[in-house]
Structure 1
Amino acid sequence: MRPRLGLVLLVGGLVLAGCGSPVTGAVQPIRTPVEVWLAQTPSLAAHRGGSADWPEGTSYAYDQAADWSPTLALEAPVWLTADGVWVVCHDATTGAEFDADLDIATSTWAQLSALRTVDGDQPLARLSDVLAEHPDRVWLIDDKPAADPAGLLDLLDAAGGPDRFVLKSYGPSVAVPEAAHRRGYLTWGYWFVADLPTFDADQERYDLLALPWDGPASAWTDAVGTGKPVFGHVVATAAQAQQALAEGATGLMVSGVTEVVPR
């Protein structure tokens, strides 16, 4: 099942549009938060909460990014602990950011919650916590291990479902985008230059596409030619943002929130 379209609410013969006043004579869709976000020009998301600005993947980073812009989506790479807790971290191990190097899949939440970032002394974020702290945000969730797609989707279903979440995957991935589509979620695939030879086949699994902001012009032409929204990643500076937009990007995955995102 592909993502459903916006709902229409009819009351007493009047149509209530998503933003407010009753109108007559035409049926207007009530847009979901994801649809509203995608209608922005460009659509912006904070990579790991703003990985160039704040300790990435922490509640502190997501708080800062959310405070910076009310329309900024938030991106979270997630892994599953040994005791079944989804945590926010880019790598399978914690040593790149935290004060001990633990393997997430074989560690418990109790062990991981004691860690602190080397930069800023911030704790590792638990996915359920940051989602609850920012219930009004669109989130892009990157299931790194694809260890339990159904379990992750159950969590997201309970927290707002396809109206609020987009499932993000590495372009050649299969399990997560297919499981997400069956639940009605939009999918967001990203590629690096080395992955581009299989782009044409891979992109069929995704609704939203993302290329390196400095990727080859030919790759950008191919991606834009699909007619799907195309994002530039990962953008740290205003100059990088402008280059991606000039190539045809309709959105940006931003690490440098304070430099790129208007406040």
Structure 2
Amino acid sequence: MNRRRDLYHPGKPVILAHRGGMAESPENTREAVSAMLAVGVRAMETDVRHSSDGVPVLAHDVTLARRFGDPRDISTVPWRELAALRDVDGAAPLRLDELLAEHPDVVVNIDAKTDEVVGPVLRAVRQARATERVCLTAFSSRRVARMARITGERVMLGAGMADAARLVALARMRERAAASRLVGAGPARAIQVPLTFRGVPVVTPRFVAAAHAAGHVVHVWTVNDPDEMDRLLDLGVDGVVTDVPSLAVEVFARRGLTPWPEVG
């Protein structure tokens, strides 16, 4: 029997700093991690890609152009060259293994951006003994399924967009019980979705209810408006992914919530 201790829990909402809180600090950097911790947020949602020599690096884009002014794909550059770069804010790139080692209390929600980065991500998590403080996810449901097989689901997992789309359909049909078949019969997942997709509302009362009926949690991205945060929390979502963690902390505090609840 899988005795995984889940990272997220229905009814215990959390704040996840999107790339560390990219509206308040340079994204995916040590500075961002320090800033989010300073306001009381301990969960970071981030993307990971790999260097040409297999080093897992916190990065959203395929190329270095937007942040570093370098047109090359990250996956074509060795780490020793990446380490020497500085982004538009003067910040250095950050490796996943460095983040896990330097901040043993930080929860890291990892979007594995490519099939090739799965191995480096899993090695970094295993070497840091961080299986109980990471959530592994991806846009690709196939990639999430692969991570589930490799880890034996002994780590918290997300759900790909295809799985989330099936849950939207199930919710519309009011087939809540069928939501347990969303990603098989394994442990609960973190269903992390946008408010809408291609103009279609995703986060509805039925959607949240269907996810909760199967034991899953619902996190919504990317939410930067305080009124929207209130509305979603009233709807029963279990977390908001935000660029402005300090603002989310204010909203949570007004509601008597903490950014990361203690779970008994």
TM-score, scaled relative to structure 2: 0.76
Q: Which one-letter code corresponds to 2:234 in the other structure?
A: A
Give the drift of 1:89: 0.6
Q: Report the counterpart of residue 241 of structure 1 in structure 2.
A: 229
Q: Report the counterpart of residue 21 of structure 2 in structure 1.
A: 50
Counterpart contact for 1:50–1:257, Cα < 8 Å: yes
C-alpha separation in 2, matches of 1:124 and 1:65: 17
Counterpart pick for 2:12 among 41, 62, 71: 41
Q: Report the counterpart of residue 213 of structure 1 in structure 2.
A: 195
Q: Which one-letter code corresponds to 2:183 in the other structure?
A: E
Q: Report the counterpart of residue 232 of structure 1 in structure 2.
A: 220
C-alpha separation in 2, matches of 1:80 and 1:248: 36
Give the drift of 1:198: 7.6
Counterpart contact for 2:51–2:78, Cα < 8 Å: yes
Q: Report the counterpart of residue 176 of structure 1 in structure 2.
A: 144
Q: Report the counterpart of residue 34 of structure 2 in structure 1.
A: 63
| Pairing 1:1-263 to 2, within 5 Å after superposition | 2=2, 4-6=3-5, 35=7, 38=9, 41-69=12-40, 71-118=41-88, 120-170=89-139, 172-183=140-151, 184-189=154-159, 191=161, 196=165, 203-204=182-183, 207-213=189-195, 216=201, 221-227=206-212, 228-262=216-250
Report the number of matched residues.
229
Give the drift of 1:177: 3.6
Counterpart contact for 1:212–1:232, Cα < 8 Å: yes
Kindly tell me: are residues 90 and 234 of structure 1, through their superposed partners in 2, closer, same or farther at Cα, counting changes over 3 Å? same
Counterpart contact for 2:10–2:238, Cα < 8 Å: no
C-alpha separation in 2, matches of 1:79 and 1:134: 20
Q: Which one-letter code corresponds to 1:77 in the other structure?
A: D
Counterpart contact for 1:47–1:254, Cα < 8 Å: yes
C-alpha separation in 1, matches of 2:160 and 2:232: 14
Give the drift of 1:211: 2.3
C-alpha separation in 1, matches of 2:105 and 2:247: 23
C-alpha separation in 1, matches of 2:103 and 2:225: 25
C-alpha separation in 1, matches of 2:73 and 2:102: 26
Give the drift of 1:243: 2.7
Give the drift of 1:46: 0.9
Larger Rg: 1
Counterpart contact for 1:211–1:233, Cα < 8 Å: yes
Per the alignment, in what secondary structure is the counterpart of residue 222 of structure 2?
Answer: strand
Give the drift of 1:102: 2.4
Unmatched segments (≥5 aa) in structure 1: 7-33
Kindly tell me: are residues 197 and 148 of structure 1, through their superposed partners in 2, closer, same or farther at Cα, counting changes over 3 Å? same
Q: Which one-letter code corresponds to 1:88 in the other structure?
A: L
C-alpha separation in 2, matches of 1:208 and 1:156: 18
Per the alignment, in what secondary structure is the counterpart of residue 49 of structure 1?
Answer: coil
Unmatched segments (≥5 aa) in structure 2: 171-178, 254-264
The two structures, once aligned, show a CA RMSD in angstroms of: 2.8
